[in-house]
A = this chain, B = another copy of it.
């Protein structure tokens, strides 16, 4: 299970990480990674944000869940409040940066689960309320 966060700063910008590792080296993503033994999903989301962006977050509601059966994974992303601007690239990131909605680098995003989550997130935020989203991902190229 892959767990991550949608770290939002108080001005609405979202923290993304540019990957320093494969797969998808050089592409942008939300902080997320494999859950470890002995932790909760919320703890995993906070730990991944700490590891990949040296950033402190307060993890909130579960926002999205994507089933990715062709790789036997489930991807869960939580809303999160970025607590300060003291962040920097962790060892698995080339760069970490805050983005407004219009600045999100949609063409260089690493993972569909993250792109779809962010599209829903901005759509919900603009509509004034956040809904939980669940979906399935098919192998790339199959629809």
Contacts and interface: CB of A to CB of B under 8 A. Distances in A.
Contact of A38 (B62, B70, B74): B70
Nearest to A37: B72
A136 interface: yes
Most buried by B among A38, A70, A74, A136: A74
Interface of A: 1, 35, 37-43, 61-62, 65, 67, 69-70, 72, 74, 132, 134, 136
A30 to B, nearest CB: 19
A132 B132 CA distance: 9
A1 B40 CA distance: 12
Counting every copy of the chain, the complex holds: 2
A39 B69 contact: yes
A70 B38 CA distance: 6
A78 to B, nearest CB: 9
Given A132-B132, A136-B40, A65 B67 contact: no
A35 B72 CA distance: 9
Contacts of A1: 1, 74
A42 B65 contact: no
Contact of A67 (B37, B40, B61, B134): B40
B62 A41 contact: no
A68 to B, nearest CB: 9
